[in-house]
Chain A
Amino acid sequence: EIQLQESGPGLVKPSQSLSLTCSVTGYTITSGYDWSWIRKFPGNKMEWMGYISNSGSTNYNPSLKIRISITRDTSKNQFFLQLNSVTTEDTATYYCARAPYYFDYWGQGVMVTVSS
């Protein structure tokens, strides 16, 4: 069974970087598909942030392009999100998910609050 699990700090200070890990079991991330980050804001708006493909290429939401980086560690079957220069507007629940076109497997989500 394919499972994704997010991990990372639940509290980040404004202007700092947010870093999250998605650990994948039951499927090798280099075998296929795209591996995405999605966030859900308070109030329920959802935003696709970007993905890293099975070949290692990346694609980001233009709204985040200058602040976001998605990387991976294939030896650990993990991929990572880094979001720089966070503000309180980045407070959200962050999910990792498998794509493309639609998201068929999701992690349980990690709530991240940006606050001093």
Chain B
Amino acid sequence: EIVLTQSPTTMAASPGEKVTLTCRASSSVSYMHWYQQRSGTSPKLWIYETSKLASGVPNRFSGSGSGTSYSLTINSMETEDAATYYCQQGSSYPDTFGAGTKLELK
């Protein structure tokens, strides 16, 4: 199965700061998908097919990448962005998830 490695594991960002989260796949995948999960709630689809924002996601978020290296970028950190972000691939059986990056507000 394809192993997804997210980095960093945890990070803190100040309001207004640019944030980049990384997801590396053990083998090439066609797309990467990202989820946001706040404490006590279920994961929400955040970015799909590498760069498409899910409904309601602010445009300060963006996604990019190809092959084995993908990233999620927040152009300007806001308070509400503090959450855990997971990457996921559905290109290769079985679907797999990364271990998550916990993004905190500094």
Contacts and interface: CB of A to CB of B under 8 A. Distances in A.
Secondary structure dominating the interface of B: loop
Interface in A7-46: 44-46
Interface string B33-53: 101000001111100110000
A63 B88 CA distance: 17
Interface of B: 1, 31, 33, 35, 41-45, 48-49, 54, 84, 86, 88, 90-91, 93-97, 99-100
A107 B48 contact: no
Interface residues of A, number: 20
Nearest to A43: B99
Contact of B42 (A47, A62, A95): A95
A59 interface: yes
